[in-house]
Structure 1
Amino acid sequence: MDDDDDRPATFASPACFLHEIDPAYAGLPGPLDLQAWRDVNRWRKSERERLLAERLAIPAEVRAGHGEAIAARVLAEIGDVEGRIVSAYWPFRGEPDFRPFMEEVARRGGRTALPVVVEKGRPLEFHLWQAGEALSRGVWNIPVPAAANPCRPDIVIAPVVGYDPAGYRLGYGGGFFDRTLAAMAERPRVIGIGYRSARVSTIYPQLHDVPMDMIVTEACTVRPQDSTVRALT
């Protein structure tokens, strides 16, 4: 997967690409500490590799159980889905499998969507899709809806490679989710999901990083807005 973390974007939302303009022109603080960014970038790449290796080492049956537990907790969090659009994702590299979750949302009267990478450097698009409808191969061979049917989701489920107590998400490095959220006129409710073992003390967030509204794992829900963690009892 392409990695944009080596492109410093400290000063602004990537959606408008102000980070590629002189900070003085944009009316933003400066100067950009390139060395500090390089240090964070190196750490993120190393941590991403470690977390992915650990995730893939979890036995498939254990991951499946964790995925079911996470899905149940997310459904409890979002409540009534009738008439609402929930975007999930196609599982990749050991992520929790949320395809049964999408089927359950549809059964409860909601609509489901998948994110679509249009091209590098641009926000994601969301297209309506439900189980049984045709798929085609998208970027990195991840399935995407074969029929273009763009939508604005009410809830976005974002898988994490890592997460911290402040609700920041460590992804694959492309910056797609941050760029997408920054570009949306009305922000949906964004729920990060991952395994409890993906927790780190901090991802060293930069100004372009966008925190999730909550992070849900198989064992706890992290709510950054009030700095609480609700664990299973």
Structure 2
Amino acid sequence: MSEKKLKSEIRRTVLAARDALDAQWRIEASLAIDTAGAEAIVLNKGAVISGFWPIRSEVDVRPLMFSLREKGARLCLPTIVDKTTIVFRELLRGAPMVDTGFGTAGPGPEAAIVDPTVMLVPLAAFDRRGHRIGYGAGYYDRAIANLRKKGIEPLLIGVAFEAQEVEQIPSEAHDVALSAVLTERGLRLMPEVSGS
């Protein structure tokens, strides 16, 4: 089986398992992720954090985003601007939200475009090495590559439920490993970050 087909099969299997999680449990787990993340994520002054508006059965990171704003972070959300690119628009309190593609919402075109220094990354599946499978469009890999071209090395924190962990994800040269993964059990640094 090719790596692409294997990733697609892992994505399908894990997303089905995530969809099967009890909706009330997902709410409680999202609140546990907020508590753990707000305590564990250390912010530099002026940190710009990208979050994401949850779709389908994803972790709801909105409580965590707002907890991090209370710690002094500036927030932004991704917006699809064409078939291959996302930009990050600043999320200000009270700003109107619009459809930003892929079933998500975010600030409209009048919002400032900013470069995140910390990224809360959505994912379908992850492994203990910090490799992830997204939803297959490659938006985040390209966005991270664009930030690196600007000299920005964002802290990449995958946010998921423990049920989304798999034994091993096949990795390709262009795949970007996560710095950490945050689940309802807490924040785990990945091997390349922790040195283990």
Question: 2:52 maps to what in 1?
Answer: 89
Residue deviations 1:27-50 (CA, integer Å, cap 9, x gap): xxxxxxxxxxx7111111121111
The reply to whether residue 163 of structure 1 matches residue 130 of structure 2 is no
CA distance in 2, matches of 1:58, 1:112: 28
Which amino acid is 2:190 matched to?
Answer: R
Q: Is the CA contact 2:77–2:90 (under 8 Å) kept in the aligned structure 1?
A: yes
Question: 1:33 maps to what in 2?
Answer: none
Of the candidates 79, 83, 100, which is equivalent to residue 63 of structure 2?
Answer: 100
Distance 1:81 1:62, change over 3 A: farther
Q: Is the CA contact 1:135–1:145 (under 8 Å) kept in the aligned structure 2?
A: yes
Q: How much does 1:224 deviate? A: 2.1
Question: 2:74 maps to what in 1?
Answer: 111
Question: 1:126 maps to what in 2?
Answer: 88
Question: 1:224 maps to what in 2?
Answer: 191
CA distance in 1, matches of 2:51, 2:101: 17
| SS of aligned partner of 1:138 | strand
Query: Which consecutive unaligned segments of at least 5 residues does structure 1 have?
Result: 1-37, 229-233
CA distance in 2, matches of 1:51, 1:144: 26
CA distance in 2, matches of 1:141, 1:216: 23
CA distance in 1, matches of 2:13, 2:104: 22
TM-score normalised per structure 2: 0.89
Q: How much does 1:60 deviate? A: 1.2
CA distance in 1, matches of 2:92, 2:63: 11
Query: Which consecutive unaligned segments of at least 5 residues does structure 2 have?
Result: none
How many residues are matched?
Answer: 190
Structure with more of its chain in strand, by fraction = 2
CA distance in 1, matches of 2:189, 2:161: 12
Structure with bigger gyration radius: 1
The share of aligned pairs that are identical, in percent, is 28
| SS of aligned partner of 1:49 | helix
The reply to whether residue 215 of structure 1 matches residue 178 of structure 2 is no
Question: 2:171 maps to what in 1?
Answer: 205
Distance 1:42 1:171, change over 3 A: same
Aligned alpha-carbon RMSD (Å): 1.8
| SS of aligned partner of 2:77 | strand
The reply to whether residue 143 of structure 1 matches residue 92 of structure 2 is no
Q: Is the CA contact 2:34–2:67 (under 8 Å) kept in the aligned structure 1?
A: no
CA distance in 2, matches of 1:174, 1:138: 15
Which amino acid is 2:112 matched to?
Answer: N
TM-score normalised per structure 1: 0.76
CA distance in 1, matches of 2:35, 2:123: 17
